[in-house]
Amino acid sequence: MSEISFFELEKKLKSIRIEAFVIYKGNTRIFEYLKNKKVIEKPSKVYSITKSIVSILIGIMVDKGLIKNIHEPIQNYFPEILESNDPQNKEITIFHLLTMTSGLKVGNFQGSKNWVKFILGQPIIHKPGSTFQYNSGDSHLLSAIIQKISGIPTASFAEKYLFRPLGINKYTWQKDPQGIHGGGFSISLNLEDMVKIGLLFLNEGRFNSNQVISSNWLLQVKRPYKQVNTTKDGTYGYGYQLWTYEDTNTNTPIDYYYANGLFGQYIFIVPTLNIMAVAKSHIQNEKQSAPRFFFEELLGSWQDEGDI
């Protein structure tokens, strides 16, 4: 992991609107780029990284026995499904929500007066479980389920069982019109708190020797349940509200998984190298994937240099 490759990475980061990029080997920060100090302290939206946090919360509920079976139908929590004319609605499970395979049509629920009602009211366009379809509505239903089971707002549950154990106290989390915390894109975190989430993943659910979430759940989280895109070098997939990458083009393959939010927010985990990286950005349009491309180039340079 040479200084040359880090120097090249920093040059690329400076060329684009990346606020911060840090890399950890185990619990040690081995690379740091900060455009300014403000990004360390000031929370800003992490967008769809919210989804990955909600997935952790579902796992904590499973660990505690509050959810007995992720394959149970969500009609147990949304009795309005029983009134649906489409029998396939009754087949949707928590697992389908986690893996974005509910089959519900993607709709702009943010403009509605009742997000949950709007999401559940969308027609089924794929048999539940059959087809990956990126849908923030699935994630919002997970947040609603957390609130229904725990009897407290999703953020309160998160504070008690996730944020407090990790020392996260500067977050904000927006709610829908019914007071349900947004499951798809509504959390704001600062850089250091994103790092804590990343280290929790890297250390298989432990943080400061405290097992916050079971390693068994994290094994399930990072498994690709659906393949999303295949390139000449590897395959991108989707786990439980997390993206996955399987390297198929090298003798020393480097698989990784990652949380990703709009405008270039990333948390990368590379288990075989004991590496974790976080990017905070304000990148528009097709350049939003730049932090991922830069990170993949860095991993590739380590392979070429024999640093692995």
Judged against a pLDDT cut of 90, whether residue 39 lies above it is answered with no
Judged against a pLDDT cut of 70, whether residue 63 lies above it is answered with yes
- pTM of the full predicted structure? 0.95
| Helix 3-14 × helix 290-305 angle, to 10° | 160
Give the pLDDT band of residue 248 (cuts 50, 70, 90). Answer: confident
Judged against a pLDDT cut of 70, whether residue 306 lies above it is answered with no
Give the pLDDT band of residue 212 (cuts 50, 70, 90). Answer: very high
Domains 3-49+190-209+219-305 and 50-166 share a fold: yes
d(CA 249, CA 212): 35
Q: What is the pLDDT of residue 186?
A: 96
Judged against a pLDDT cut of 80, whether residue 93 lies above it is answered with yes
CATH homologous superfamily of 3-49+190-209+219-305:
DD-peptidase/beta-lactamase superfamily (3.40.710.10)
d(CA 238, CA 243): 5
Residue with tokens 């786990």: 239
The CA angle 25-201-93, to the nearest 5 degrees, is: 155
pLDDT in tens, 101-118: 999 999 999 999 999 999
Burial of 162 (0-12, 13-18, 19+ CB in 10 A): buried
Give the pLDDT band of residue 304 (cuts 50, 70, 90). Answer: low
CATH no. of 50-166: 3.40.710.10
d(CA 56, CA 146): 11
Q: What is the pLDDT of residue 84?
A: 79
List the domain boundaries for the chain: 3-49+190-209+219-305, 50-166
d(CA 269, CA 292): 12
